[in-house]
Amino acid sequence: MVLQQTMKAEEHPLALRDLAEPTPGAGEVRVAVRCCGLCHTDLHTVEGDLQLPKLPVTPGHQVVGVVNAVGVGVKSVREGDRVGVPWLYSTCGVCEYCRSGRENLCNGATFTGLHADGGYAEQMIVHEDFCVPLPSRFDDVSAAPLLCAGIVGYRAFRLSGARRGNRIGLYGFGASAHIVIQLARHIGCEVQVMTRAISHRNLARELGAAWVGDAAEAAPAQLDAAIIFAPAGGLVPLALRALKKGATCALAGITMTDLPAMPYDTIYGERVLRSVANATRSDAREFMELAAEVPVRTHVETFALKDANEALVALKHSRLRGAGVLVTAG
């Protein structure tokens, strides 16, 4: 059974369908899905913000499951292994980006739940090279948000340039930011959180934020780094004005509303504005090791697979405290 999107956008775009059991090809494995995290990219997919390469498509790219079949030539994964399947589904391996360690920018990359059927399902297929080993200290539901919110959040945090003793600002406080604050606190950063939802503010304080407020408010001190998680272009000039000279603001989302016009002096002073595009397999491995070391605690609300439409509505309206996860098995 899978939840597939069969049209570009509607109030409840996902429908349950029974499909034949997929068969892994050479180098591929079949994963019995236990759970799958919810992501804003899923929203962008089902609401038509992203161009859909195929329809119908099964969304979901924070997949936790167990390998139950392997194709010819598979060497690194065995039946019974617990694995994660993240957003990056495949790359060409030969372009200038892949050869220079920047496979996240591969022009031939495909993505789970967009080009290939993802984890809103009981089973899915993935190449063995794009499975992620999961630390044993995380149970299935706790591990799911690590596979996108965590991995991409880690890349955004790294590209923000934040270092021990720095002050970093997080704009928006959903699934990714509630993981990043733990990474930042672990290495000795002070964290300021800008978010409107009361539940998000309370969680930020619980996780050690030094200051919590609205992005339009005057924060107590300038920032050494910033990450914008909310897909709101209007936050960009606010974050830049809060940055010290020479500091970086990283944009963690895959889409964002248009950036407003702003005076040049908003970014002058060698402030840097950079996007964060996807993540590499190295990011995934590094982050999983760090997450286990911290250890990261994911705050999760669970939903049955059949309730995915309602869960996505809750995500859209910031009604989730932390991350949402669809439970497929058990």
Predicted confidence (pLDDT) per residue in 96-119, tens digit: 999 999 999 999 999 999 999 999
pLDDT digit string (tens) for 305-324?
999 999 999 998 889 988 99
User: What domains are there in the chain, each with its CATH number?
Assistant: 2-147+279-327 (3.90.180.10), 150-275 (3.40.50.720)
When pLDDT is cut at 50, 70 and 90, the band that residue 52 belongs to is: confident
How many CB atoms lie under 10 A from the CB of residue 181? 25
First-last CA distance in the chain: 14
Tens digits of per-residue pLDDT, 30-44?
999 999 999 989 988
312/315 Cα distance (integer angstroms): 5
The mean-pLDDT minimum among 3-7, 53-57, 139-143, 145-149 falls in 3-7
Cα(161)–Cα(97) distance, integer angstroms? 22
Q: Tell me the C-alpha distance between 91 and 112, whole Å.
A: 12
